Amino acid sequence: MAYFHFLLYLFLLILTVSATDQQRQTTFIVRVQNDAKPSIFPTHKHWYDSTLAALSDRSLPSSRIIHTYDTVFHGFSAKLSAVEASKLESAFGVLSVIPEQVRHLHTTRSPEFLGLKTSDSAGLLKESDFGSDLVIGVLDTGIWPERESFNDRGLGPVPVKWKGSCVASGGFPATSCNRKLIGAKYFSAGYESTNGKMNETVEHRSPRDSDGHGTHTASIAAGRYVFPASTLGYARGVAAGMAPKARLAAYKVCWSAGCFDSDILAAFDSAVNDGVDVISLSVGGVVVPYYLDAIAIGAFGASDHGVFVSASAGNGGPGGLTVTNIAPWVTTVGAGAIDRDFPADVKLGNGKLIPGVSVYGGPALAHHRLYPLIYAGNEGGDGYSASLCLEGSLDPNSVRGKIVLCDRGINSRAQKGEVVKKAGGMGMILANGVFDGEGLVADCHVLPATSVGASSGDEIRRYITSASKSKSPPKATIIFKGTRINVRPAPVVASFSARGPNPESPEILKPDLIAPGLNILAAWPDKVGPSGLASDNRKTEFNILSGTSMACPHVSGLAALLKAAHPGWSPAAIKSALITTAYTLDNRGETMIDESTGNSSTVMDFGAGHVHPQKAMDPGLVYDISSYDYIDFLCNSNYTTKNIQVITRKHADCSRAKKAGHTGNLNFPSMTAVFQLYGKRKMSTHFIRTVTNVGEAKSVYTVGIKPPRGMNVTVEPMKLAFRREGQKLNFLVRVKVVAMKLSAGSSITKSGSIEWSDGKHVVRSPLVVTMQEPL
């Protein structure tokens, strides 16, 4: 009997929990048909409110609408229970109900490294007048408008097309904007609907940046020339963005709890309506189908309006399948290192020098003396927490006056240093884990500290263990060597940079390319210390950060320069120019290395390669793509017509798409084939491409084929003769492969290229073939 009562209790508990879940409200984004509003409603919002009111008998607030959208997306966002969301899906005029996702931030010498110099009278900066009439919209954590990087000296009037505004709010008067920062808005309704009213003692209810990330990315894209610039004495020189005269518009969508889809979509809507030419987005989340992805949907609407969208690839590397923001209409940017670093080496008691990096700017440790060295994980207590130097895990009696070796993971790199400092440590050595590999990121630590690779961490631990058993206890010091330039090899693929293959559309190579994203100097707010820690009261006008977040705005700024130089180019043409002119060799003339392993990197790491702005200015040929081409791609990806309408706002005729053959026939600048073996011995596929002449009117291009090893590739025709600028010609690529013996569930990827050349231009498209043996 007791057992029966127990089962009854469990059943009632499940019912109660289930009922609670059904009543719990979360944010959903609702796509409605463009022309579905009944005439009895004066506005769409009245219709949305009425529709929501009909869903429930409960007492409701006058409006649960969070945002309404009408430019890149048609619909609204609202708080709904699971039951209400289910009912709403079948309501009149509703196409889709999308659960909100919370995104997170993917967190100078680079203009010179990229070949952008003010003295270059015939280069990209000159041709585009530095992008002075172009507007870059940065969707991020806001902006610190007083920074010198955002001054408007020498700039002309605000472009007449501009319809945006400067939203004044506490501590951010309308005068914060100028002829450089021409727009600033914030979007917090989605954030607050989930998290409650923001704490205005730590966050600004305005476009003002309380994090630093948005100020940094905005100045990378379009910061003015500022001299002198440095962070705590490191990277001294001139700071400048990619498009120093381009106008900026800041759209604050990221808050302490993250970046909420409903706010991001509202910012996309506003930015396109305001008249931006480029949208830069350094945030990301989990990969979902495009019709459930607010960023993919917003980016499609922007692209459809002629706006170029670049987004960070994510910092989930070096593992495969980690790339995010993978829609083909988005330019997805991974991170590389430039030819500058900040060496801070560890000198051990046995005389060994271990290479490391740091941008610590305080009193240094004495070079002539060594300090006691311990590994935090060996010092009693909770060894795991202590090894990671988590808050409260270190015993001051064991740490005081010593250099502490901490492992990466869980808490931030700068927080580990703060924990060691609080416990009385003299310094910190931060060791990568196996997954981090040998990739190093320099940080503005609050005590003398440096970062070392995984193998170096192992070597230091071995030294500590052996020295602890000898008569010479373990000792070390850290030698800070400042800034080093002209480093070889460079560029390299940053260890953290997210990698392919594309988890949603394997036939579309992602990331598209890489750009500088490791240890990048850019503007920083007044009230945020360079380490980002609340306890860090240091002030600096510039800071050095790493991430694909930093790589993305490099491409955003370059896209603005290209658009200024070629006003008639579409977003796809700009992307094509960047991809087909990217390079894969470093400054030693060898394939770029993968920072995490020290081995050669691959197309899954760098996409088409590292961005080359000067060549992108004059690519010769471009692969253009229309919105209807993307619809054909979605049809061939087996999306339903309803799903396609959710993404594109267009009614899809998928019978037309079948003529395109397959997803690989999207007119993309790279070509990727995926073969499922299933015991087959020989397989083949084809790619149809159309190129547009944007070079000399009369030009003849000859194809050069570098097939993936062991595969047969042919191109028809082998010559393309253009008679005029703007002319389009087609070609066909056939790929034949012989199956390799693979174990179940495994795959192999090989790459080559197709290159068209007229003697002046080389138009290079990666050709990637993957063979998979299904389970």
Residue 726 three-state SS: coil
Give the number of other Cβ atoms within 10 Å of residue 705's Cβ.
Answer: 15
Cα dihedral value 739, 742, 748, 753, nearest 10: -10
Residue with the two structure tokens 């057992």: 3
Which tokens in the block code for residue 429?
Answer: 């050595």
**Which amino acid, one-letter code, is at 142?**
G
If residue 139 lies in a helix (H) or strand (E), which one and from where to where? strand 135-140
Q: In 3-state terms, what secondary structure has residue 570?
A: coil
- Which is nearest to 601 in space by CA: 320, 314, 316? 320
Cα–Cα distances in angstroms (integers) from residue 94 to residues 53, 86, 648, in the given order = 15, 11, 15
Question: Nearest CA to 69 among 328, 301, 277, 249?
Answer: 301
- Cα separations in angstroms, 65 against 22, 29, 79, 212, 602: 19, 10, 7, 30, 46
Amino acid identity, residue 543? N
Rounded Cα gap, residues 210 and 199, in angstroms: 12
- Structure-token pair, residue 750: 């090989």
Closest to 453 measured CA to CA, from 599, 318, 597, 601: 597
Give the Cα separation of 414 and 661 in Å (integer). 52
State how far the Cα of 650 lies from the Cα of 643, in Å rounded to an integer. Answer: 10
Q: Are 304 and 627 in contact (CB under 8 A)?
A: yes
Q: Are 314 and 325 in contact (CB under 8 A)?
A: yes
Q: Based on the number of CB atoms within 10 Å of its own CB, is 172 exposed (0-12), middle (13-18) or buried (19 or more)?
A: buried
Euclidean distance between CA atoms 61 and 727, whole angstroms: 58
Q: In 3-state terms, what secondary structure has residue 549? A: helix
- Taking the C-alpha atoms of residue 555 and residue 311, their distance in angstroms, rounded to an integer, is 9
Cα separation of 430 and 412, whole Å? 11
Q: Residue 52 corresponds to which tokens in the numbers above?
A: 């929501």
Angle, nearest 10°, between helix axes 294-304 and 627-636? 140
The secondary structure of residue 225, as a DSSP letter, is P
d(CA 546, CA 442): 8
Which positions are catalytic?
140, 213, 549
- Cβ 481 vs Cβ 344: under 8 Å: yes
Distance CA 334, CA 331 (A): 10
The phi and psi torsions of 208 (rounded to 5 degrees) equal -65, 140
3-state DSSP percent of the chain in helix, strand and coil, to 5: 25, 30, 45
Integer Cα distance of 395 and 399 in angstroms: 6
* Angle separating helix axes 548-565 and 213-222, nearest 10 degrees: 30
Strands 254-255 and 258-260 come out as antiparallel
Nearest-angstrom CA–CA distance, 307 and 276 = 7
